[in-house]
Amino acid sequence: MYLHFDKVTLLYEGRQIYFGEVESAMRYFDELGFENPTRATIADFLTSVTNPVERIIREGYKQELLGRLMTPPLHGKEVKSQRGS
């Protein structure tokens, strides 16, 4: 079902951490250091990214990931804050 969509939006703690092509989402989070759980579908993998209990982060990536999640990118670009604009 997931692959029938063109775009996907992923939210984490009320913030958008990804918006883009469905087929690029898995590679994007893999490059950030997230590991795809064995036998997980792409949708399951993306859901695990937003769940601290389920997500798996490769060694050496944790601090960088936390910083990126606190200032979420928009498919490789930082999202501009709506405050004070």
Q: Residues 19, 25: contact at Cβ < 8 Å? A: no
Token pair belonging to 5: 């969509």
* H-type alpha helices, the chain: 22-32, 42-49, 62-70
What residue type is 80 in one-letter code? K
How are beta strands 56-57 and 73-74 bridged, if at all? Answer: unpaired
How far apart CA 12 and CA 27 sit, in angstroms, is 18
Q: What is the pLDDT along the chain (85 residues), one digit of tens a residue?
A: 777 889 999 998 888 889 999 889 999 998 888 998 888 888 899 999 888 888 888 888 876 666 666 554 454 444 443 444 4
Domain boundaries, the chain: 2-78
Q: Calculate the alpha carbon distances from 29 to 18, 20, 68 in Å.
A: 9, 12, 11
Give residue 69's pLDDT. Answer: 66
